[in-house]
């Protein structure tokens, strides 16, 4: 596996790959890699000749600086996992490779129709940070395909929309959510959870499946929100929305094209999950 920490060095490697007419899949991550990330790498390997994983903890997408400072960093372990998974290239850019003039002097990309709800509403500026960094990573890596997880479903839709709006020449491949044995969605933030908190966190997916299987979903949302409160889980949102437009579909007759989204804090750890209805 080749590791590049400078855009100038990556760029030379990309030129050679392109000269040899090889296709590239990009898996952008923030590191602290787990089986969810590795499943994306596996998909990428099947899709293209060369798989690039990027690890960049993007300060611009954190609305809470404490959250940014505490984000788990495990580069040595990540490198080992990627080597074992036969990743071709790891790109770990320095901040100046992504934002040479600082984020605030960089051109920002703001998606306009999907970002005023869910995480977009609760984390102001988050998706502008995400879109901007993903566009830069796509351009720097020259990727033909990008693999993104359904775990961050709103992010997946927002990036797809950005790619469409800006005519970026790249194909989006979506990947299913990989879960812990207690059905908790794997997340880098799970490494902050104690054993007790891990147990509590499993209530998030139980809530989603409880609502999915209920007859009166409105009533069940109220009931299960109360249950979460009793377990000291602070809800950011628990909402049913259209799986393409993210419009609220709580009052629709069938939930055929809907997804159920949750974001909640266990103490100060924010977790998200979603399932198809
Ligand atoms: P992150 O490092 O959290 O920014 O995530 C990098 C990519 O991995 C994103 O496309 C996520 O949606 C995806 N991802 C994160 N957790 C999971 C999971 N449990 N299953 C599948 N994909 C995931």
**CATH code, domain carrying 248:** 3.30.1300.10
37 is known as an active-site residue: yes
Q: Do 141 and 212 fall within a single domain? A: no
Residue 23 CA to ligand 1 center (angstroms) comes to 22
Q: Do 166 and 192 fall within a single domain? A: no
Q: Please, is 60 exposed, middle or buried when counting C-beta atoms within 10 Å of its C-beta (0-12, 13-18, 19+)? A: buried
The single-letter DSSP state of residue 74 is: -
Q: How much is the mean pLDDT over the chain?
A: 97
Q: Do 65 and 151 fall within a single domain? A: yes
| Cα separation, 198 vs 193, whole angstroms | 6
The pLDDT score that the predictor gives to residue 38 is: 98
pLDDT band at 19 (very low <50, low <70, confident <90, very high): very high
Q: Do 139 and 237 fall within a single domain? A: no
The pLDDT score that the predictor gives to residue 254 is: 87
Residue 181 lies in a domain: no
Q: Backbone phi, then psi, for 195, in 5-degree steps?
A: -60, -40
The pLDDT score that the predictor gives to residue 137 is: 98
The pLDDT score that the predictor gives to residue 208 is: 98
Q: Do 153 and 204 fall within a single domain? A: no
Q: Please, is 196 exposed, middle or buried when counting C-beta atoms within 10 Å of its C-beta (0-12, 13-18, 19+)? A: exposed
Q: Do 156 and 202 fall within a single domain? A: no
Q: Quick one: average pLDDT of 69-80?
A: 97
Of the residues 175, 206, 231, the one at which a domain ends: 175
Q: Do 216 and 239 fall within a single domain? A: yes
Residue 183 lies in a domain: no
Q: Do 76 and 108 fall within a single domain? A: yes
Residue 258 lies in a domain: yes
pTM value is: 0.97
Least confident of 64-68, 115-119, 225-229: 64-68
Q: How many domains does the chain have?
A: 2
Of the residues 175, 209, 224, the one at which a domain ends: 175
Structure tokens given for 122: 């609760």
Q: Do 167 and 213 fall within a single domain? A: no
The string of pLDDT tens digits covering residues 130-186 is 999 999 999 999 999 999 999 999 999 999 999 999 999 999 999 999 999 999 999
Q: Quote the domain boundaries for residue 60.
A: 2-175
Beta bridge mates, 26: 52, 146
Residue 216 CA to ligand 1 center (angstroms) comes to 31
**Contact indicator for 147, 159 with CB cutoff of 8 Å:** no
pLDDT band at 109 (very low <50, low <70, confident <90, very high): very high
pLDDT at 253 over 90: no
Ligand 1 atom nearest 176 alpha carbon: 21
36 CB under 6 A from ligand 1? yes
Task: Select the more confidently predicted residue: 209 or 252.
Answer: 209
145 CB under 6 A from ligand 1? no
Nearest CA to ligand 1 atom 17: 36
């Amino acid at each position: 596996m080749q590791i590049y920490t400078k855009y100038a060095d990556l760029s030379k490697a990309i030129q050679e790959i392109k000269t040899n007419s090889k296709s590239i899949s990009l898996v952008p991550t923030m590191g602290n890699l787990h089986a969810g990330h590795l499943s994306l790498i596996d998909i990428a390997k099947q899709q293209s000749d060369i798989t690039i994983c990027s690890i960049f903890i993007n300060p611009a997408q954190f609305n809470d600086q404490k959250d940014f400072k505490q984000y788990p960093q495990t580069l040595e372990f990540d490198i080992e996992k990627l080597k074992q998974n036969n990743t071709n290239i790891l790109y770990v850019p320095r901040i100046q490779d992504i934002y040479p003039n600082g984020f605030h002097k960089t051109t920002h990309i703001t998606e306009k129709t999907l970002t005023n709800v869910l995480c977009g509403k609760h984390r102001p500026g988050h998706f502008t940070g995400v879109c901007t960094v993903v566009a830069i990573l796509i351009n720097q890596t020259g990727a033909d395909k990008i693999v993104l997880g359904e775990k961050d479903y709103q992010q997946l839709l927002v990036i797809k929309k950005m790619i469409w709006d800006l005519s970026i020449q790249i194909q989006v491949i979506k990947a299913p959510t990989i879960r812990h044995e207690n059905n908790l969605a794997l997340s880098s933030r799970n490494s902050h959870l104690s054993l007790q908190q891990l147990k509590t966190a499993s209530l998030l997916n139980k809530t989603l499946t409880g609502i999915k299987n209920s007859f009166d979903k409105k009533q069940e949302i109220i009931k299960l929100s109360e249950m979460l409160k009793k377990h000291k889980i602070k809800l950011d949102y628990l909402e049913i929305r259209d799986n393409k437009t993210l419009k609220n579909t709580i009052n629709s007759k069938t939930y055929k094209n809907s997804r159920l989204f949750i974001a909640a804090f266990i103490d100060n750890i924010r977790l998200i999950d979603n399932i198809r209805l």
